[in-house]
Amino acid sequence: MRFRIQQESDIPASTQLYNQICFAIAARHYPPGHRLPSTRQLAMQTGLHRNTISKVYRQLEMDGVVEAIAGSGIYVRDNLTKRDFKKSIYSKDKISKQPDQEIKQTIDKLINLGCTLQEAREIFTNEIDWRIKCGAKIIVSTPREDIGASMLIAEELSPKINVPVEVIPMEELEKVLSNSNNGTIVTSRYFLQPLEKVAKHHGVRAIAVDLSDFQKELDIIKEFNAGSCVGIVSISPGLLRAAEVIIHSMRGGELILMTAISDNNSRLLSLLKASNHIVCDGPSLSVVENTLLKNRSQLMRLPKIICAKNYLSIETINHLKKEIGVIN
């Protein structure tokens, strides 16, 4: 994946790069354990100073998105210990091994650690039972300021996963789990690190889901005529911020960008009046269409609507089903 920096933009270059790398990781262009480009490679690609890139990487590490391994590089953070994390990166037969081989090797390791076969069986049984117990309920959580991101995740998971799905702001999670400590916390990779700590404290699981790469929508935006006004509408402020930076990095000042939260009626109407094209998420589509219908007489033209219906990748939903023990 190539990163583009608009040097003449009002958006700082470091912010542009940070958001693009975050999106690439969240959309699994760079999966867990993947080695990211070096500062030298990114400097050659973007024209940025290596110190600027190093600062971006340090911020990503502080946010728990990446992990630095001395003498090796920067890697997308995995939900493993550092020791296992490093091993997973360099293991060439990681994917090729059959499940029965993995089980045999794991049992051998447990025996070498001093476990009996009965103890090994109990360890496996307890772990599987715990995961199944956690899979009885999904708790989608993000910070309150971007609870819209949780709502997007929950709306997409609810019809596809046959377990209760609940949205709880990150700030209220401790209290909720204190009263009922079962379930699996689901979030995006942006917020995984703080939620892992909460999950560990209460004996539940925390899993990050991967976003759609929105490639279809981005390809359409690439073809918009210069000077077009593009309105972006979502229930998630975080998605709006990221989309604005990514589109600006891709098209620079060629497009006029406007954003609106779908429940902000006055701002939404202003956006609809000015825009040639509207890009919205699934939950915002009906709001956009109804607002256009009610205010048709005030509009010079009807904007073309592009709805990004999938917020999550299909692969991440299928993987989550396996993680929580849901059978199709």
pLDDT over threshold 60, residue 162: yes
* Residue 244's CATH number: 3.40.50.2300
Q: Tell whether 191 and 323 lie within a shared domain.
A: yes
Residue 7 lies in a domain: no
Q: Tell whether 222 and 301 lie within a shared domain.
A: yes
Question: Residue 290: CB partners within 8 Å, gap ≥ 6?
Answer: none
Q: Tell whether 160 and 24 lie within a shared domain.
A: no
117-to-106, 113, 124, 249 alpha-carbon distances in Å: 12, 12, 11, 57
Query: For residue 121, what is the enclosing H or E element?
Result: helix 117-134
pLDDT of residue 307: 96
Would you state the structure tokens that stand for residue 11, as one six-digit string? Answer: 């958006």
Give the helix ranges, DSSP H, for 12-81.
Answer: 13-26, 39-46, 50-62
pLDDT of residue 257: 94
Q: Tell whether 240 and 106 lie within a shared domain.
A: no
pLDDT digits (tens, 9 = 90+) for 176-218: 998 887 899 999 988 888 999 999 999 999 999 999 989 999 9
pLDDT digits (tens, 9 = 90+) for 48-58: 999 999 999 99
What is the mean pLDDT of the segment spanning 236-246?
91
Of 113, 133, 153, which closes a domain?
133
pLDDT band of residue 79 (cuts 50, 70, 90) is low
pLDDT of residue 52: 95
Q: How many domains does the chain have?
A: 4
Q: Quick check: helix, strand or coil at residue 42?
A: helix
Q: Tell whether 184 and 238 lie within a shared domain.
A: no
Q: Tell whether 22 and 164 lie within a shared domain.
A: no
pLDDT of residue 91: 43
Q: Alpha-carbon Rg of the chain, whole angstroms?
A: 22
Residue 1 lies in a domain: no
Report the 10 Å Cβ neighbour count for 148: 23
Residues counted in the chain = 328
Q: Tell whether 288 and 235 lie within a shared domain.
A: yes
* Residue 168's CATH number: 3.40.50
Residue 6 lies in a domain: no
Q: Tell whether 295 and 219 lie within a shared domain.
A: yes
pLDDT over threshold 90, residue 284: yes
The parent domain of residue 118 ranges over: 97-133
Report the 10 Å Cβ neighbour count for 304: 13
CA separation for the pair 197, 181 (Å, rounded): 14
Query: For residue 319, what is the enclosing H or E element?
Result: helix 314-324
pLDDT band of residue 328 (cuts 50, 70, 90) is low
Report which of 172, 173, 288, 308 is spatially closest to residue 239, judged by C-alpha positions.
308
Q: Tell whether 182 and 319 lie within a shared domain.
A: yes
pTM for the structure as a whole: 0.80
* Residue 76's CATH number: 1.10.10.10
Residue 124 lies in a domain: yes
CA separation for the pair 317, 319 (Å, rounded): 5
Q: Tell whether 297 and 220 lie within a shared domain.
A: yes
Residue 140 lies in a domain: yes
Residue 8 lies in a domain: no
pLDDT band of residue 21 (cuts 50, 70, 90) is very high
CA separation for the pair 315, 120 (Å, rounded): 32
Q: Tell whether 38 and 85 lie within a shared domain.
A: yes
Residue 4 lies in a domain: no
Percent of the chain with pLDDT over 90: 69
Q: Tell whether 54 and 127 lie within a shared domain.
A: no
CA separation for the pair 148, 75 (Å, rounded): 29
CA separation for the pair 228, 119 (Å, rounded): 66
Give the orientation angle of helix 117-134 with respect to helix 314-324, to 10 degrees. Answer: 130
